[in-house]
With several copies, the nearest count.
Chain A
Amino acid sequence: MTDSSNVSDSHSDFDFLSVQEQDFDVAFEYAQLRENNSQDGAIVFFSGLVRDFNQGNDVTGLYLEHYPAMTEKALAKIIEEAKSRWPLSRVRLIHRVGQLYLSDQIVFVGVSSSHREAAFEACHFIMDYLKKKAPFWKKETTKKGDWWVESLEKDEKALDKWQDQ
């Protein structure tokens, strides 16, 4: 299942958003942020990976459920909010769903801007909001059984730093 698109008509043609089962290629994403782009001095990206230990469990894999009708809409809204707060030229966001294994890539957020500060803050903001506002749920496969990941209070608190801006 792939569901990808340019984010919306009001945004740069260079924005890209995809919710997909297949893996992504960071080198390709980076090239897309850079190509024919001599105005931007700063690219920041975040990549999230399946790690082996989480919330006290030895993790062997991860199943990512989502709410298909809502996921893209929620992510587009987060990108739109980021672009209203910072001068971003390009935003690329990919989130995988379905069965993932140890060290697999889960999520990519890459942004380009003429300003370093804007690139760092916007990329961080998008990840913080995605963690609390986008309808994804992780079920971990561990050596003791399968568990739904608990949401963390620190992820809730991570949003506080963006409130007064």
Chain B
Amino acid sequence: MINVVFFAQLREQLKTDQLQLELSTPCTVADVQQALLDNHPQWQEFLANRALMCAVNQDMVQSDAMVNDGNEVAFFPPVTGG
């Protein structure tokens, strides 16, 4: 089981802040993204955005990063704090 979380305008666009995903692991962040699109084709225009950032277990990573069972995978727009 992988815990997936979304933030900011992506959360608003998907109307989802969190979901669980069953995937055979280890896989990559890109695999998680693809699985989400397979389950929710209407998310294409928001989730296929190349500017999106991702984190695995609260560390920012690239989309080829590994994901293991029990990990938390986060997707969010470029950050704008400070």
B45 to chain A, nearest CB (A): 16
Residue numbers in A under 8 Å from B77 (CB-CB): 137, 148, 151
Kindly identify which residue among A48, A107, A134 contacts B79, using a CB–CB cutoff of 8 Å.
Answer: A134
Q: A65-B8, A127-B82, A130-B82 are in contact. List 18 more A-B contacts (CB 8 A).
A: A48-B82, A65-B7, A67-B58, A67-B76, A70-B59, A73-B58, A106-B82, A116-B82, A131-B79, A131-B80, A133-B79, A134-B79, A134-B81, A135-B55, A148-B9, A149-B80, A151-B51, A151-B78
Q: Are B58 and A137 in contact (CB under 8 A)?
A: no
Q: Are B81 and A137 in contact (CB under 8 A)?
A: yes
Q: Are B74 and A67 in contact (CB under 8 A)?
A: yes
Interface membership of A26, Cβ < 8 A: no
Known: A65-B8, A67-B7, A135-B7. A95 touches B81 (CB 8 A): yes
Total interface residues in chain B, CB < 8 Å: 18
11 A-B pairs with C-beta separation under 8 A: A67-B76, A70-B74, A74-B60, A130-B82, A131-B81, A134-B82, A137-B7, A137-B8, A137-B80, A148-B80, A150-B80
Q: Are B79 and A136 in contact (CB under 8 A)?
A: yes
Interface membership of B2, Cβ < 8 A: no
Q: Which residue of B lies closest to A109 (CB)?
A: B82
Q: Which residues of B contact A (CB under 8 A)?
A: 5, 7-9, 51, 55, 58-60, 72, 74, 76-82
A125 to chain B, nearest CB (A): 13
Q: Which residues of A contact B (CB under 8 A)?
A: 48, 64-67, 69-70, 73-74, 95, 106-107, 116, 127, 130-139, 148-151
The 7 closest A-B pairs by CB, nearest first: A136-B81, A151-B78, A137-B8, A70-B58, A131-B82, A148-B9, A149-B80
Residue numbers in B under 8 Å from A67 (CB-CB): 5, 7, 55, 58, 74, 76
Interface centre among A48, A73, A137, A151 (most CB of B within 10 A): A137
Residue numbers in A under 8 Å from B74 (CB-CB): 67, 70, 135
Q: Which residue of B lies closest to A19 (CB)?
A: B81
CA distance A116 to B81 in the complex (A): 13
CA distance A81 to B68 in the complex (A): 27
Known: A67-B5, A67-B7, A148-B9. A136 touches B58 (CB 8 A): no
CA distance A134 to B76 in the complex (A): 12
